[in-house]
Structure 1
Amino acid sequence: MSTLNEYLVQKRQAALDRKDKALQLEEIPAQTYYAKARALGRSGVREIRIRDFQVISDSPEDYAGYNLGPNSAELQLGVLGSCLTHITLIQAALLQVSLDALEVEVSGQLHSFAGQPGYEDIPVYPYNIAYKLHITSSESPEKIADLHEQVERVCPIFNLLRNPQSIKGEVVLHSS
């Protein structure tokens, strides 16, 4: 079985190749991503489609769900953890930092009565978000600190959550 460090060699080469390919273009375009979510029939389960992938989101049974998948707040924390993991791997590969193991834990709070009378001061969004990067490595603490600084500098989802964004929304009504 291959190790994480063997993977980092492949990841480094892929990142360098991708950068070289992009630099050959006159202008480097931004990538557009797309996701679609819909509520399914009697269950209310949320089906999320991204490329050829399907993810299911659901509520616990005490909130009229069937507990068939994580709720939206849990998915958001998972997305942050996934992005931090991926960016840590990329940066470790580029900086040639040896990693024997990597795991990210993400936590946050969401209050079910947020914004309602008596709870107006509680945010209606996940808050107190925190993460722990568990790294097993023979590298120096200074090198790992440099890695961590670089990860926070370039991690897209970490920075999306840290920096407010403007989101446009619209309703398209279809008659039944």
Structure 2
Amino acid sequence: MSALDNYLQRKSAVLAQRRADFTASPEKATVRIQARSWVAGEAGARPVKMGETLFITDSAPALAGHGLGPTAPEMLLGALASCLVHTYLIQAALLNVPLDGVEVEVQGAVPMEGVVGLPYERPPQIEAIVYTAHVRSSAPPETIARMHQAVEETCPVLNTLRFPTSVVRHEAKEG
């Protein structure tokens, strides 16, 4: 018996129900999400509300922050790590892969020249993003490889980073 068997059984049942719901009503297959952030007073920290959860993001002291929370680039890497872990859980449930655990580590680099007002050749963005997935399972290596491939194909945050979508700024109504 694997450590996550009970969870994966629940996950399988929920996924089966979602597939049935989406088949009956395809318009429900797209979930709308949002996040919101603002400056929290003179400290410069930026609360971020995602769903019903509030996080505090901040800069490091080197950029006049107080280190009260992760930086925005760290949040992006954290979102990728979390989405990858969740996608491993989903694929394990779909493929009947026994799991004892999954841990994903994501690393990247942020060239800061343009961020701090120095000349830059390319727009600043997180680069050299690499992830390592540690999967603990009694499944044979070919089954784990099939799961890795399925995760690579179906992780929404990974695919957004690999195949960027447009991001459009709407004009705010100031009042």
- TM-score, normalising length from structure 2? 0.91
Aligned equivalent of 2:130: 130
How many Å apart are 1:63 and its aligned residue?
A: 1.2
Aligned equivalent of 1:3: 3
How many Å apart are 1:114 and its aligned residue?
A: 4.2
Counterpart Cα distance in 1 of 2:107 and 2:169: 28
String of CA shifts for 1:64-103, please: whole Å, max 9, x gaps: 1110000000000000000000011001001000111110
Aligned equivalent of 2:17: 17
Q: Structure 1 pair 26/43, CA: closer, same or farther in 2 (3 Å)?
A: closer
Aligned equivalent of 2:96: 96
- Aligned pairs (5 A) from 1:20-59: 20-25=20-25, 27-59=27-59
Amino acid at match of 1:124: P
How many Å apart are 1:19 and its aligned residue?
A: 1.2
C-alpha root-mean-square deviation of aligned residues, in Å? 1.8
Q: Which has the higher helix share?
A: 2
Counterpart Cα distance in 1 of 2:153 and 2:26: 26
Identity of aligned residues (%): 38
Structure 1 unaligned regions, length at least 5: none
Counterpart Cα distance in 1 of 2:21 and 2:164: 32
- TM-score, normalising length from structure 1? 0.90
Structure 2 unaligned regions, length at least 5: none
Higher mean alpha-carbon deviation, 98-107 vs 5-14, is at: 5-14
How many Å apart are 1:24 and its aligned residue?
A: 2.1
Aligned partners of 2:22 and 2:29 also within 8 Å: no
Counterpart Cα distance in 1 of 2:75 and 2:154: 21
How many Å apart are 1:144 and its aligned residue?
A: 0.5
How many Å apart are 1:29 and its aligned residue?
A: 4.8
